[in-house]
């Protein structure tokens, strides 16, 4: 008899605990009603809904990690870094889709949620418009490989060496060792010059004018000598001199040469100008200054 009573008491206690668990799971975290009359709708978000979302997000995370590990297993390190950047953005989109699917499956009216927060979503969308432009542009850059880390680029008159490419911004260092943060959407709205797209070797030049009556063949010889003697100028392709124009006060020449590091081209160009000035002085070749004839008419 006593054993029967004990079993009944245990059953009552167990059922009481179960009822508490059920009540806890059914507790409404959000209970919101919008609209009036027949158009009224109610959004109820319970504890069990939150637990379901958390469990599914954990499962989704492990599945995405497994997919990422399988896909990047045999990828080169450079491609793997690009894939990881794009994958990190796609992962959040997948999370949002999972949450929306869960909302719809557990009976929460997703349309009602969007309708209730329409004004807020419009405001957020307008505020984040540039952000999404940057992110989409970053994905395009990573996918079509128009810019790589180490490339020397020119954008809006600013020149820098790319140090890091992220989804929203590109980090570059200028010739003056200043950090340049470039929003990625500028790549789509401006003309981008990639100095090293075809390789690290670039053609640079120095222009100079000499006085009328100078020996142009001697000038050509001295310009080639000045450029070829610099240690950073490549032997191939050879240094070339162009007779560019008959100027107002001078005969204009351009000496063209190749460098393996165009990012620091200003230093070799300056050294070559110093050498041109020295050779011209030694060989009596003058660099003229602008001259104007002024005629005064007395009336």
> In this predicted model, what pLDDT tens digit does every residue of 147-197 receive, in sequence order?
888 888 888 888 888 888 877 888 898 888 888 888 888 877 788 888 777
Whether the predicted model's global pTM rises above the 0.75 cut: no
Helix ranges, the chain (H) = 2-25, 47-71, 77-105, 110-116, 118-127, 129-144, 186-189, 216-228, 266-282
In a domain, 208, yes or no: yes
Task: Tell whether 103 and 66 lie within a shared domain.
Answer: yes
In a domain, 180, yes or no: yes
Number of domains within the chain:
3
In a domain, 136, yes or no: no
The CATH number for 186's domain is: 2.30.30.60
The DSSP secondary-structure symbol of 137 reads: H
Q: Yes or no: say if 242 and 253 are a contact pair by the CB < 8 Å rule.
A: yes
Task: Tell whether 50 and 120 lie within a shared domain.
Answer: yes
In a domain, 287, yes or no: no
In a domain, 276, yes or no: yes
Task: Tell whether 221 and 187 lie within a shared domain.
Answer: no
Q: Yes or no: say if 83 and 70 are a contact pair by the CB < 8 Å rule.
A: no
> In this predicted model, what pLDDT tens digit does every residue of 156-166 receive, in sequence order?
888 888 888 87
Domain range for 172 is: 147-194
Q: How many residues does the chain have?
A: 299
Nearest to 134 by CA among 81, 170, 83, 171: 170
Q: Which two structure tokens, joined as six digits, stand for 299?
A: 């009336």
Task: Tell whether 183 and 213 lie within a shared domain.
Answer: no
Task: Tell whether 153 and 104 lie within a shared domain.
Answer: no
Task: Tell whether 167 and 189 lie within a shared domain.
Answer: yes
Task: Give 84's Cβ-side CA count (13 Å radius).
Answer: 13
In a domain, 66, yes or no: yes
Task: Tell whether 82 and 155 lie within a shared domain.
Answer: no
The confidence score (pLDDT) of residue 184 equals 85
Residues in the chain, pLDDT under 50:
1, 5, 12
In a domain, 293, yes or no: no
Task: Tell whether 157 and 247 lie within a shared domain.
Answer: no
In a domain, 242, yes or no: yes
Q: Yes or no: say if 258 and 216 are a contact pair by the CB < 8 Å rule.
A: no
């Amino acid at each position: 008899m006593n054993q029967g009573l004990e079993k009944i008491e245990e059953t009552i206690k167990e059922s009481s605990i179960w009822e508490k668990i059920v009540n806890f799971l059914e507790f409404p975290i959000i209970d919101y009603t919008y609209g009036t009359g027949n158009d009224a709708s109610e959004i109820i978000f319970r504890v069990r809904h939150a637990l379901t979302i958390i469990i599914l997000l954990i499962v989704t995370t492990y599945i995405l990690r497994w997919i990422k590990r399988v896909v990047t297993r045999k990828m080169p390190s450079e491609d793997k870094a690009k894939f990881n950047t794009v994958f990190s953005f796609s992962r959040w989109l997948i999370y949002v889709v999972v949450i929306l699917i869960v909302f719809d499956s557990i009976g929460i009216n997703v349309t009602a949620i969007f309708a209730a927060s329409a004004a807020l979503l419009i405001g957020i969308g307008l505020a984040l418009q540039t952000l999404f432009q940057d992110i989409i542009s970053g994905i395009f850059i990573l996918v079509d490989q128009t810019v790589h880390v180490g490339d020397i680029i020119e954008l809006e008159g600013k020149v820098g060496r790319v140090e890091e490419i992220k989804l929203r911004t590109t980090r570059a260092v200028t010739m003056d060792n200043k950090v340049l943060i470039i929003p990625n959407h500028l790549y789509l709205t401006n003309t981008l010059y990639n100095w090293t797209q075809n390789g690290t070797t670039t053609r640079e030049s120095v222009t100079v004018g000499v006085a009328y009556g100078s020996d142009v063949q001697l000038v050509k010889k001295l310009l080639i000598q000045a450029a070829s003697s610099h240690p950073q100028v490549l032997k191939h392709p050879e240094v070339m001199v162009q007779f560019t124009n008959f100027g107002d006060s001078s005969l204009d020449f351009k000496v063209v040469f190749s460098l393996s590091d165009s990012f620091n081209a200003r230093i070799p160009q300056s050294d070559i100008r110093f050498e041109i000035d020295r050779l011209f002085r030694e060989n009596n070749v003058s660099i003229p200054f602008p001259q104007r004839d002024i005629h005064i008419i007395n009336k």
